Amino acid sequence: MDERPGYRFRCRRSGNCCARPEGMVRIEAEDTRRIAAHLGLGEAAFRSRYLAASGDRLVEGLGGRCPFLEDGREARCTVYPVRPERCRSWPFWPELREGAALGAAQRLCPGISLDPSREER
């Protein structure tokens, strides 16, 4: 479990954070290298298959979801050990520190607890 002032997070593997059509995952050159190697692809092949034409974000998968989200009883990221930095830092993004954005993230993600005194099970 990870904790920051004001809230805690423990991933519940809902996949909700990866399945939002309006979401966009920016990706850095180092992310590209790590993920391509993990998938056994050359960087050019990875870029062609998984990056948008702009080259700075992942393409959208089916229904606007992350192309690496796998459904099942629990959602699973197929590149979890090498996922992009933006994904690694969820939900501790500067724009989610407080207010309406944090409340919306909590409604989306069952792993966010706004009550830091609540015991996790």
pLDDT in tens, 106-119: 988 999 987 655 54
Is 57 within 8 Å of 51 (Cβ atoms)? yes
pLDDT band at residue 4 using 50, 70 and 90 as cut-offs: low
| Rounded Cα gap, residues 26 and 106, in angstroms | 22
pLDDT in tens, 39-58: 999 999 999 999 999 999 99
pLDDT at 2 over 70: no
| Rounded Cα gap, residues 113 and 6, in angstroms | 9
pLDDT at 121 over 50: no
pTM, 2 dp: 0.80
Question: Count of CB atoms within 10 A of residue 3's CB?
Answer: 13
Mean pLDDT of 57-83: 89
pLDDT top residue among 67 and 121: 67
Amino acid residing at 115: D
